[in-house]
Amino acid sequence: DQQVKQNSPSLSVQEGRISILNCDYTNSMFDYFLWYKKYPAEGPTFLISISSIKDKNEDGRFTVFLNKSAKHLSLHIVPSQPGDSAVYFCAASGPSSGSARQLTFGSGTQLTVLP
Amino acid sequence: DAMVIQNPRYQVTQFGKPVTLSCSQTLNHNVMYWYQQKSSQAPKLLFHYYDKDFNNEADTPDNFQSRRPNTSFCFLDIRSPGLGDAAMYLCATSRDLSASGVSYEQYFGPGTRLTVT
């Protein structure tokens, strides 16, 4: 049962245009969401996050939008650059009955920015 | 630079031959995680250590064990690797701030690609 879904395995965008990556979740207990970027042969790198008390968080070219009623979040990259080409993972976190908080990941979207 | 280091980057082992993957961190984070990631799939959490407390995921096979001798190091032991255990193994750390509820980012190492022959 996938609690975090990224339904688009790949996305191609022209350089300079907007890239929109989407993510859906099913667990209403999730209250913190993150995006990670992964280049080949490297580990995922934290990109941007958002708490469930907000609906938007912006950091430079990257903006994450959260729609709690739809259980949907998206990552906007404007303008897209060739160096943004990577796999993007959506992750969600919620209160844990155990010790540390854990992340539940989506399966990733391969973004290709064409020059 | 503070970082998460994984050794080796590539590991080849034979079917049934025990193998150990290592992870070290200079971030002084109190939580360390091990994930398994197969091609085109989401990273799957195997277990984590909160300080010295070991937390196993319910569906992690008994074949997988872990040790954390100190804050900086964590090991993943696969006692009898099968062909289905071939994957990328990712180590991650976090500074658990659940008490203050500030942020929950995890910082990942580059991963170890395990091949089972």
The residue count for chain A: 115
Residue A101 pLDDT: 76
pLDDT by residue (tens digit) across B67-84? 999 999 999 999 999 999
Place of tokens 């980012």: B105
CA distance B15 to chain A (A): 24
Count of C-beta atoms within a 10 Å radius of residue A103: 27
CA distances from A53 to A33, A66, B96, B102 (A): 11, 9, 20, 12
pLDDT by residue (tens digit) across A19-69? 999 999 999 999 999 999 999 888 999 999 999 999 999 999 999 999 999
Residues of A in contact with B109 (CB under 8 A): 43
pLDDT by residue (tens digit) across B7-55? 999 999 999 999 999 999 999 898 999 999 998 889 999 999 988 989 8
Contact yes or no for A98 and B55 at CB 8 A: yes
Contact yes or no for A43 and B40 at CB 8 A: no
CA distance A107 to chain B (A): 4
B43 has a chain A CB within 8 A of its CB: yes
- Per-residue confidence at B101, pLDDT binned at 50, 70, 90? very low
> Which residues of A lie closer than 8 Å to B, measured between beta carbons?
2, 4, 9, 32, 34, 36, 41-46, 49, 89, 93, 96, 98-108
Torsion angle of alpha carbons B9, B45, B52, B78, nearest 10°? -50
Mind giving me the DSSP string for B37-52?
A: E-TTS--EEEEEEETT
A103 within 8 A of A92, measured Cβ to Cβ: yes
